[in-house]
């Protein structure tokens, strides 16, 4: 199964994400937009893994993260990754707090220790992908510079391991494991 590890976001950030997607579409961006229910903060994209490997990874991560203190981060604006002069990915930025960075590094260390492969993206930039750009308006940078986001706090008390099934209508995400820092490991048995 195509697998990734993410932090779930709250309904308030999900709502802001949808409002900004609507705004971007109305000013001329054409993109593969993320469905509101699929918005999340990806920590690691792992690609294809078999079920046994996912199970053992979940248990190893649970052991490593047991007792990790819950923390909060907050929505800190709108952003984009670009290639040359073209926008590629549009996203919501999250505050790269010390706790969020520490969580990322702890997990990265555990994945490496267990020889689990993941996409290396260079520096960790905490973000929630809104869309992958296909077409964009002229003066796009000027058009997006006034996009504001409210400051919304996101409490992080665990991570979720997801499977992603690609379909013509877009990906379908299903949680496989929820790892709570204080509350153990839950497996989705559907």
Question: In sequence order, what are the residues at sequence separation of 6 or more whose Cβ sits closer than 8 angstroms to the Cβ of residue 101?
Answer: 124
Q: Identify any residues that bridge with 129 across adjacent strands, giving them in sequence order.
A: 91
d(CA 181, CA 158): 5
| DSSP alpha helix (H) spans, 30-124 | 51-65, 98-113
Decide if 59 is catalytic: no
C-alpha dihedral over 32, 11, 174, 103, to 10 degrees? 100
Output the CA angle 39-100-122, nearest 5 degrees.
80
d(CA 168, CA 49): 22
Per the residue annotation, which of 127, 152, 163, 181 is the catalytic one?
A: 127
Question: In sequence order, what are the residues at sequence separation of 6 or more whose Cβ sits closer than 8 angstroms to the Cβ of residue 189?
Answer: none
Per the residue annotation, which of 7, 40, 133, 176 is the catalytic one?
A: 40
Decide if 85 is catalytic: no
CB-CB neighbours of 44 under 10 Å: 23
d(CA 144, CA 146): 6
- So which residues are the catalytic ones? 40, 127
């Amino acid at each position: 199964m195509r697998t990734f590890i993410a932090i779930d976001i709250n309904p308030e950030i999900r709502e802001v994400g949808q409002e900004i997607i609507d705004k971007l579409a109305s000013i001329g961006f054409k993109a593969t937009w993320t469905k509101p229910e699929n918005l999340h903060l990806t920590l690691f994209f792992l690609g294809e893994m078999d079920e046994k490997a996912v199970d053992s990874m979940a248990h190893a991560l649970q052991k490593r993260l047991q007792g990790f203190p819950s923390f909060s981060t907050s929505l800190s604006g709108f952003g984009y990754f670009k290639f040359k002069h073209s926008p590629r990915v549009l996203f919501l930025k999250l505050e790269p707090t010390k706790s969020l960075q520490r969580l990322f590094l702890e997990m990265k260390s555990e994945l490496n220790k267990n020889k689990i492969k993941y996409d290396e993206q260079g520096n960790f930039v905490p973000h929630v992908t809104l869309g992958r750009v296909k077409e964009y308006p002229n003066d796009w940078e000027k058009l997006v510079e006034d996009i504001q986001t409210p400051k919304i706090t996101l409490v992080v008390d665990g991570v979720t391991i997801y499977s992603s099934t690609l379909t013509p209508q877009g990906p379908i995400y299903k949680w496989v494991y929820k790892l709570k820092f204080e509350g153990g490991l839950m497996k989705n048995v559907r």
